[in-house]
Amino acid sequence: MSHPLCVTDVGSGNPNGWVGWNGKAIYIKSIIDPSVQHVQACGEAIRRWNESVGARFLIVPDQGDHTITFVEKTSQEQPFIDYPHAAGLAYLYLDHPKIFIRSDQVVTYHQWVNYYAHEIGHTFGLADHPIDDINSLMSYQNSGRWLLRPSKEDIDSILGIHGLKTMKVKPEDLEGIENITGFWQWDRYENHGWKFWLPHLRKFSTIDSLVPYEVYKIKAKIEGLLGYGRFSLFVSPKTNLWVYL
């Protein structure tokens, strides 16, 4: 059995990824409409996308550079009256796409997450794959229906769409990093040791990618701002805790 039909309407929008991409990081506000009954599945799909691409494209509940709105409607409501065989639909209008999922389907929790995760893929410029010869969340066939997050192939496609070599953000990519003498990943459980990054030991340091919302401990030479993307935080010669947002 194939994946239920997914409809994508690019309208006047951009089918090739996020509008206004700055080459570094964008923050995408998620609006979960009150019509959404499967909030947990929607949230899990967002979380799994963040785990895969969040270092560059972080989907957040608060203010963002762009917005995705998630909506559920029954088969007796638009847009599903016009698309009665569709499980989901993505309207890609500029920087405010809307994702519709048909709420009166009798499917498993796994499938709800898959539907949401699949539709999120369209907002990143990924197209449907109606054949089963690709390991992609966007495939209609078994290879896609069992995925709950973007595959390596999906991530590679997003990198190509947005002109990136990697999703990783290294400490030296930060604004104001020249003011930092040490950068340690916070060991919240105090039993795994601290991963560190020192400018003069880049080849040997163990932090090679920053994790969104992770806490880091930093040491600055002088007072200043340290940031990446949307946020910059104040640091000083005294040891600070700093959160990569």
9: confidence class by pLDDT, cuts 50, 70, 90: low
Q: How does residue 168 score in pLDDT terms, banded at 50, 70 and 90?
A: confident
The arrangement of secondary structure in 5-161, i.e. its CATH architecture, is 3-Layer(aba) Sandwich (3.40)
For residue 120, name the pLDDT band (cuts at 50, 70, 90). Answer: very high
pLDDT (mean) for 175-183: 89
Least confident of 174-178, 200-204, 219-223: 200-204
CA distance 242 to 179: 14
Please, are residues 71 and 35 in contact by the beta-carbon 8 Å criterion?
yes
Bridge partners (DSSP) of residue 20 are none
Is residue 125 predicted with pLDDT exceeding 50? yes
pLDDT-derived band at 15, boundaries 50, 70, 90: low
Does 143 score more than 90 pLDDT?
no
Model pLDDT, residue 192? 66
User: What tokens were used for 230?
Assistant: 């949307």
Backbone Cα Rg of the chain: 20
Max mean pLDDT range (41-45, 193-197, 237-241)? 41-45
The pLDDT assigned to 12 comes to: 45
pLDDT of residue 5: 58
CA neighbor of 60 nearest in space, from 245, 243, 209, 244: 245
In this predicted model, which residue has the larger pLDDT, 178 or 3?
A: 178
pLDDT at residue number 38 = 95
Q: Which residues of 181-201 are buried (b: 16+ CB within 10 A; e: fewer)?
A: eebbbeeeeeeeeeebbbeee
pLDDT at 3 over 80: no
pLDDT tens-digit map of 155-165: 999 999 888 88
pLDDT band for position 112 (50/70/90)? very high
The domain ranges of the chain are 5-161, 171-243
- Range with the poorest average pLDDT among 6-10, 32-36, 96-100, 129-133: 6-10
- Per residue, the 3-state secondary structure of the chain, as one string, reads CCCCEEEEECCCCCCCCCCCCCCCCEEEEEEECCCCCCHHHHHHHHHHHHHHHCCCEEEECCCCCEEEEEEEECCCCCCCCCCCCEEEEEECCCCCCEEEEECCCCCCHHHHHHHHHHHHHHHCCCCCECCCCCCCCCECCHHHHCCCCCCHHHHHHHHHHCCCCCCCCCHHHCECHHHEEEEEECCCCCCCCCEEECHHHCCCCCCCCCCCCCEEEEEECCCEEEEECCEEEEECCCCEEEECC
Please tell me the pTM assigned to this model: 0.84
Task: Please give the average per-residue pLDDT across 79-106, as a whole number.
Answer: 86
pLDDT given at position 103: 92
Average pLDDT in the chain: 84
Mean pLDDT of 45-58: 92
On the question of pLDDT at 24 being above 90, the answer is no
